[in-house]
Amino acid sequence: MSRAPVRVVVVGLGAWGAHVAWRLARRGADVVGLDRHAPPHGFGSSGGATRMFRTACLEHPDLVEVARRSDELWRGLADRSGRRLRVSDGGMLLGPPDGPVVSGARLAARLHGLPVEVLEAADVRRRYPGHATLPDGHLAVVEPEAALLDVDQVIRGALEQARDAGARLRTGVTVRRAERRAGGVRVEWSGHGPDDGGTIDADVLVLAAGVGNAGLLPDLAPGLVQAAGWRTVVMPMTFLRVDDPAGLGVDDLPVFMRELDDGRVLWGHGVLPGADPTVVKLGVEAATPLPPDGEVRPLAPQDWAPVLERAPVAFPGVRAEGVTGAACPYDRTRDGQFVIGPVDDGRQVWVAGGCNAHGFKHSAGIGEAVAEGIVEGRTSLPVGAFAPDRFAGTGAHAVVGG
């Protein structure tokens, strides 16, 4: 007699939840996906149209394999669906040789034999006019396999694959709380109207709610939020006016992260073909805590200041003038690493969160690792370093596997 498929509720259908739903449904799980908005959207951590993909993972060398698996899954998705997920190829990490950006990228490249090229500043200035002001002594780690991803296409593609594989996905549904019950979980949800709501029972719950995770975790994994130093911050996602577009096309300025001498990191990419040549996406890694009322507010002048001071100096064609921008919320953890895996002995409640502002490129691999862990009991992807149980005393566990 064949066993009934495992029933899984996935909370959140943004970058990570969409891929969890897809990879679970592909493995025959009975998947219900819920989201309070209608992804893709700009209210969570995935706003702003584009994201950098790279396998030179300075944040943790184990992530190289997760990024590679994402790339493999996305190439398959693009072939099947005709969607264009990679909008430009190639990417660069620049800065002082001993700074975290360049040294971390070189470490990941050395450990995994990645096909990167390390360029001296003079060569960078010649080959990439967008970085014409890169100071002597700085280096660039150039990765031809890096890319600029189209956020909407990636999320829409994953949701489409999930639906095609049988997942039932509902939007406009907010999960208010969840509890563990004998042999499973119960999720309480509400919709838009006063009488719109109910409960769903399942075998397993996956929390992939981005900045919504921290509100749902305390009932399910007491102490984890505190132990992990889990907190929501906001980073400005900014677009600046261009005075002189020379050197600011995407071929001259492929997607990049550039550490400056003051330790701040600028990120962005040149103008894509067909896009408005007078606007470029450029930002500074500068996060501030979410206000105590939890409201994500429009950017204030002080939020713009770090990028308006630095971008025109680093990129002379850029004006100190913001065109449009938004505060982009995301979650940080004490050690700067993701939190992926079951949070209980029964492996009924899983979390995929704590993205630390570098998780988009790993979305498909994370979806795969969580789905394998739930359906097969282990994963071949090396996500053990991101297990919730690294935060001692929370009773949480690793996915099991690499």
Ligand X SMILES: Cc1cc2nc3c(=O)[nH]c(=O)nc-3n(C[C@H](O)[C@H](O)[C@H](O)COP(=O)(O)OP(=O)(O)OC[C@H]3O[C@@H](n4cnc5c(N)ncnc54)[C@H](O)[C@@H]3O)c2cc1C
Q: Site for ligand X (CB under 6 A): which residue of 23, 36, 69, 397?
A: 36
Which is closer to ligand X, CB of 46 or CB of 55?
46
Q: Which of 33, 39, 268, 382 lies at the binding interface for ligand X (CB under 6 A)?
A: 39
* Contact between 221 and 349 (Cβ < 8 Å): yes
Whose Cβ is closer to ligand X: residue 303's or residue 372's?
A: 303
**Choices 29-37, 196-204, 368-376, 377-385; region in contact with ligand X by CB under 6 A:** 29-37
Using CB atoms within 10 Å of the CB of residue 401, give its burial: 0 to 12 exposed, 13 to 18 middle, 19+ buried: middle
Write down the least CB distance from residue 382 to ligand X, Å.
17
Which segment (34-42, 76-84, 270-278, 382-390) binds ligand X by CB under 6 A? 34-42
Output the smallest distance, CB 283 to ligand X, in A. Answer: 6
Burial (0-12, 13-18, 19+ Cβ within 10 Å), 305? middle
Nearest to 396 by CA among 344, 352, 346: 344
Closer by beta carbon to ligand X, 249 or else 359: 359
User: What is the total count of residues that contact ligand X (CB under 6 A)?
Assistant: 33
Site for ligand X in 157-196 (CB under 6 A): 174-175
Show Cβ contacts of residue 293 under 8 Å, excluding neighbours closer than 6 positions.
Answer: none
Which residues contact residue 109 at a Cβ distance below 8 angstroms, ignoring those fewer than 6 apart?
56, 116, 141, 143
Q: Which of 21, 52, 217, 290 binds ligand X (CB under 6 A)?
A: 52
- For tokens 């493995």, name the residue: 27
Instruction: Give the containing element (helix H, strand E) for 288.
Output: strand 288-289
Contacting range for ligand X; rule: CB under 6 A; set: 23-31, 40-48, 316-324, 380-388: 40-48
- Please state, in angstroms and as integers, the Cα–Cα distance from residue 282 to each residue in 106, 127, 150, 325, 366, following that order: 24, 20, 16, 10, 27
Nearest-angstrom CA–CA distance, 145 and 353: 26
Is 15 among the residues that bind ligand X (CB under 6 A)? Answer: yes
- H helix or E strand, kind and range, residue 253: none
- Return the residues of window 235-274 that contact ligand X according to CB under 6 A: 235, 237
If one asks whether residue 14 binds ligand X (CB under 6 A), the answer comes out as yes
| Burial class of residue 181 (count of CB atoms within 10 Å of its CB; 0-12, 13-18, 19+) | exposed
- Is residue 44 near ligand X by the rule CB under 6 A? yes
- Residue closer to ligand X (CB basis): 125 or 349: 349
* Pairing of the two strands 197-202 and 204-207: unpaired
Considering the complex, what minimum distance in angstroms separates the CB of residue 119 from ligand X? 21
Q: Which of residues 72-131 bind ligand X (CB under 6 A)?
A: none
- Answer for which of 46, 161, 232, 348 binds ligand X (CB under 6 A) is 46
Q: Which residues 333-362 are close enough to bind ligand X by CB under 6 A?
A: 355, 357-361
Burial class from Cβ neighbours inside 10 Å (0-12, 13-18, 19+) for residue 98 reads exposed
Nearer to ligand X, 362 or 397 (CB): 362
Binding-site member from 58, 200, 208, 225 for ligand X (CB under 6 A): 208
DSSP labels, 324-344: EEEEEEEEE-TTS--EEEESS
| CA dihedral over 344, 35, 42, 50, signed as positive or negative | positive
Instruction: State which of residues 8, 9, 10, 12 lies at the interface with ligand X (CB under 6 A).
Output: 12
Stretch that binds ligand X, among 46-54, 109-117, 118-126, 310-318 (CB under 6 A): 46-54
Binding site for ligand X (CB under 6 A): 11-17, 34-37, 39, 44-46, 51-52, 174-175, 208-210, 212, 235, 237, 328, 330, 355, 357-361
